[in-house]
Amino acid sequence: MSTNGKDYDGPILECKDLSISYFTRAGEIPAVVDFNLTLRQGDSVGLVGESGCGKSTVAMAIMQYMGNNGGIVGGSIVYKGRDLATLSEEELRQLRGNEIAMVYQEPMAALNPSMTLGRQLMEVPLCHEDINEEEAYSRAIKILADVHLPDPERVMSSYPHQISGGQQQRVVIAMALLSNPSLLLLDEPTTALDVTVEAGIIELIAEIAKKFHTSMIYISHNLGLILATCDRVNVMYSGQVVEEGTVDEVFDHMRHPYTKGLFSAIPLPGADKTARPLVPIRGQLPLPHERPPGCYFGPRCDHFAEGSCNSGLIQMTSVSGEAGHGVRCCRWDDIDWDAYRPEGVGGATITQGERVLSINKMRKYYEIHDNSIAALIKGNRVRYVKANESISFEAMESQTVAIVGESGCGKSTFAKVLMGLETATDGEVVFKGEDVSNYPVQKRTPKQVGSVQMVFQNPFDTLNPSHSVGAQLARVIRKFGVESDKHKIEHRVMELLDLVKLPRDFARRRPRQLSGGQKQRVGIARAFAGNPSMVVADEPVSALDVSVQAAVTGLLMDIQREFRTTLLFISHDLSLVRYLADRVVVMYLGHIVEQGTTDEVFSPPYHPYTEALLSAVPIADTSIEKKRIILEGNLPSVINPPKGCPFNTRCQRKLGSICETEDPPFVEDASGHVISCHIPMEELRKVEPVIKMHKEEDQPAAE
């Protein structure tokens, strides 16, 4: 039967008027409304949208795996002519993993921790096909080679925790491909991975689509990844598809105000904080049971028309002249986009002031005690984790300095030293003329403490759930000695809430009554409560939805400019860094490999790592052409870093043995633009730019 199924030549998958709901104690919650999709052999369709838009629910419905409380309440999912809802449990079992396979968001969680990977791979063909153990083993070995895993035999006998995250995801992909499925569902397969590892997986997925001619549904919140992997795209908002079409149609000639809004809210290479600022989408995603009548996007839309937009379900209509391009907007033809000039977040550039922070050859080592037998014999029980090695850079008043790097690059350690939670092992951290490298936070004066504050990454974690927003802000004000009188403190709390554009009654609320974006705003207010000279923002928007990111970023920039604060912006998102930073510091395994102004870092000469990083960042712009550089291997561990240049194990431009033995020199290209590499600067200058825009007419000189 399964071979029969694979010769089928109609559409692989058809979702017709599909509606899915969850049933909770609060009643029925519609997760997906009126979803239509037709997938032919070899098609790859992207589902893109923010959290809670129903994109993953669609995938789970296709798998017919929706838990106890989820169910299809309308429409049908037809796979190769068979309505999945009518299949028996046994028939479904034969489809799952065999004809329809899935790749998941977190590979570590998706693999059974107590079984070898080999077993987990082999059981797929063993349960779907009539083959013996040896055949299953050789099939598994072959497929591991297909997903470019080195040493497949070793992988087969490993447990999941013994290989890296990127390798785990390759194993999960191999597992999905083992029985050569007709349909592959990929649910945010790279979200949990570092950007250079992500690039490798994305390339693999694109390769698979070609090689196996598998139909794919790619689910992501990242428009850039959709562009890299899909032919068609469905943009989802709050349970509905609001726009569908080919990638070119949707990316270049989007019709729906939400799609338009999304593209204006993400920092594409053309955006610039002064000339072409980001435009946030106002408001926030409606909760499923609070959706407005008519268009779900209505309350956030600038083109909302009373009467037409809020009466009845809006139907999908075809854009005239583009057969496959549909849009769920009753006004798509009326909106005059050329006349639409929304207010962006940004503003005039300001002059940089005097030096606020100067870091000179700062090192931070952690001791770890090794209790293994080998260490006992050799006698080197204590080893050092070189979290930061020779960090030197400066930051001026009202300047934004971005620190860029992947996980384990040492940016968090650096922040800890700066905040006084750790003391430096060596070197200087001069803040406003005073070396604070050996002052833990307890020894700093309240004023010193208040003048360096931090904005944190995780909105669900940044505020204490047990105390009200007002109480938490008041504590900071009192602690830093800004005010001591009860009424003045209350007044100051209100001012701070005004500053971050939150209603004043939020002071009485508990954090759980706030949305993610609102919590981040409170987090920003908290950081600015002590009138700081410098704020360290550690990935402040990376956990937020795209449409909210721009607003929070803009707010942070506004406040920073107003108070002439120095902003240290720690991020892995190069697009965002390019948009808002004045200077960029690129870190790899605790070392600074390159630093300079934003323009200098984003154009040649590059450090090879910067070059690879730039190439790895997915960009949601069809007019961009990128060089493809896929790094080999894994991020080395900081416990056991490579000798010589830290990047030598993965470098695409490695010279030879010199890279493995000698520390690279710091070479200055222009004043302040420093690259740490053995390759002569003249060579590096000859390198082609990673990103090229080939539709010049769209791009005013941004650089």
- Cβ at position 180, least distance to other proteins in Å: 13
**E strands within 68-158?**
70-79, 82-83, 100-103
Could you give the angle at which helices 195-212 and 165-177 cross, rounded to 10 degrees?
Answer: 10
Restricted to residues 497-526, the positions that interact with other proteins (CB under 8 A) are 501-503, 505, 508-509, 513, 515, 517-518, 523, 526
Q: Among residues 275 and 287, whose Cβ is nearest to other proteins?
A: 287
Least CB distance to other proteins at residue 454 (A): 5
- Contacting residue, 355, 467, 627, 654, with other proteins by CB under 8 A: 467
C-alpha 363/C-alpha 426 separation (Å) is 5
Ordered DSSP codes for 502-564: --GGGGGS-GGGS-HHHHHHHHHHHHHTT--SEEEEESTTTTS-HHHHHHHHHHHHHHHHHHT
Is 639 near other proteins (CB under 8 A)? no
Distance of closest approach, residue 630 Cβ to other proteins, in angstroms:
26
With CB under 8 A as the contact rule, the residue among 17, 81, 127, 312 that binds other proteins is: 127
Distance CA 270, CA 278 (A): 10
- Phi first, then psi, for residue 209 (nearest 5°) are -55, -40
237: enclosing H helix or E strand: strand 232-237
Instruction: Give, rounded to a whole angstrom, the gap between the first and last alpha carbons of the chain.
Output: 59
For residue 108, the minimal CB distance to other proteins (Å) is: 9
Which residues touch 437 (CB under 8 Å, ≥6 apart)? 362, 417, 423, 424, 427, 428, 429
Binding to other proteins (CB under 8 A) within 263-282 occurs at: 280, 282
Residues of span 343-402 touching other proteins by CB under 8 A: 345, 371-373, 376
Distance separating alpha carbons of residues 133 and 601, to the nearest angstrom:
53
Rg of the Cα atoms in the chain:
27
- Fill in the per-residue mask, 32 to 71: x = in contact with other proteins (CB under 8 A), - = not in contact: -------------------------------x-x--x---
Q: Which CB sits closer to other proteins, 296 or 647?
A: 296
Within positions 407 to 446, which residues make up the interface with other proteins, using CB under 8 A? 419-421, 441-442, 444, 446
- State CA 211 to chain mean position distance: 28
Q: Is the dihedral of CA 572, 578, 580, 585 positive or negative?
A: positive
From CA 110, how far away is CA 141, in angstroms rounded?
20
**Cβ nearer to other proteins, comparing 151 with 703:** 151
Residues 129-158, mask of contacts with other proteins (x by CB under 8 A): ------------------------------
Which residues from 160-179 bind other proteins, rule CB under 8 A? Answer: 161-162, 172, 175
* Burial class of residue 433 (count of CB atoms within 10 Å of its CB; 0-12, 13-18, 19+): exposed
| Site membership for other proteins, residue 648 (CB under 8 A) | no
- Between residue 541 and residue 570, which ones bind other proteins under the rule CB under 8 A? 551, 554-555
Measured from the CB atom, is 180 or 597 closer to other proteins? Answer: 180
> Per rule CB under 8 A, is residue 94 in the interface with other proteins?
yes
The verdict on 106 binding other proteins (CB under 8 A) reads: yes
Judge whether 371 and 548 are in contact, CB under 8 Å. no
Placement of tokens 């949208």 in the chain:
49
Q: Could you tell me if 286 and 280 are in contact, meaning their C-beta atoms sit under 8 angstroms apart?
A: no
Q: Which tokens in the block code for residue 681?
A: 């600067």
| Structure tokens, 289 | 């049971």
DSSP 633: S
Q: At what angle do helices 608-616 and 195-212 cross, to 10 degrees?
A: 50
Binder of other proteins out of 28, 123, 663, 669 (CB under 8 A) = 123
Chain residues 13-32 in contact with other proteins, contact rule CB under 8 A: 25
CB 139 within 8 A of CB 174: no
Is 313 one of the binding residues for other proteins (CB under 8 A)? no
Interaction between residue 109 and other proteins (CB under 8 A): yes
Cis amide linkage into residue 605, ω under 30° from 0: yes
Closest CB 63 distance from other proteins, rounded Å? 5
Piece of 103-111, 269-277, 627-635, 658-666 that binds other proteins (CB under 8 A)? 103-111
Q: Check residue 486 for interaction with other proteins (CB under 8 A).
A: no
Q: Which stretch binds other proteins (CB under 8 A): 49-57, 194-202, 472-480, 608-616?
A: 472-480
Q: Shortest distance, CB of residue 461 to other proteins, whole angstroms?
A: 4
Residue among 22, 35, 104, 258 that touches other proteins (CB under 8 A): 104
| Residue of 79, 251, 456, 606 interacting with other proteins (CB under 8 A) | 456
**The one among 165, 200, 450, 646 contacting other proteins by CB under 8 A:** 450
Contact region with other proteins (CB under 8 A), list: 136-144, 263-271, 430-438, 475-483: 475-483
Among candidates 659, 566, 573, 670, which has minimal Cα distance to 613?
A: 573
Contact between 1 and other proteins per CB under 8 A: no
Of 463, 473, 537, 584, the one binding other proteins (CB under 8 A) is 463
Cβ proximity of 216 and 234 under 8 Å: no
Cα separation, 77 vs 96, whole angstroms: 14
Task: Give the C-alpha separation, 469 to 350, whole Å.
Answer: 32
Least distance in angstroms from the C-beta of 442 to other proteins: 6
Supply the minimum distance, in Å, between the C-beta of residue 483 and other proteins. 15
- Of 410 and 523, the one with the shorter C-beta distance to other proteins is 523
Among 283, 636, 642, 689, which residue sits at the site for other proteins (rule: CB under 8 A)? 283
Q: Is residue 292 a contact point for other proteins (CB under 8 A)?
A: no
Residues near 326 by beta carbon (within 8 Å), at least 6 away in sequence: 241, 243, 244, 245, 316, 317, 318, 319
Interaction between residue 124 and other proteins (CB under 8 A): yes
Nearer to other proteins, 112 or 311 (CB): 112
Residues 630 and 650: their CA atoms lie apart, in Å, by 9
Q: What is the nearest approach in angstroms of other proteins to the Cβ of residue 165?
A: 14
Site residue total, other proteins (CB under 8 A): 81
Among 93, 253, 289, 491, binds other proteins (CB under 8 A): 93
Q: Does 112 bind other proteins (CB under 8 A)?
A: yes
- Our finding on whether 454 is near other proteins (CB under 8 A) is yes
From the CB of 449, what's the least distance to other proteins, in Å?
5
Chain position carrying tokens 């981040």 = 520
Nearest alpha-carbon partner for 45 in 183, 177, 180: 183
Q: Of residues 655-694, which lie at the interface with other proteins (CB under 8 A)?
A: none
What is the C-alpha to C-alpha distance for residues 482 and 488, in angstroms, rounded to an integer?
Answer: 10
Which residue from 3, 4, 86, 114 is in contact with other proteins, where contact means CB under 8 A? 114
CB of 368 to other proteins, least distance (A): 14
Phi, psi of 164 (to 5 degrees): -75, 170
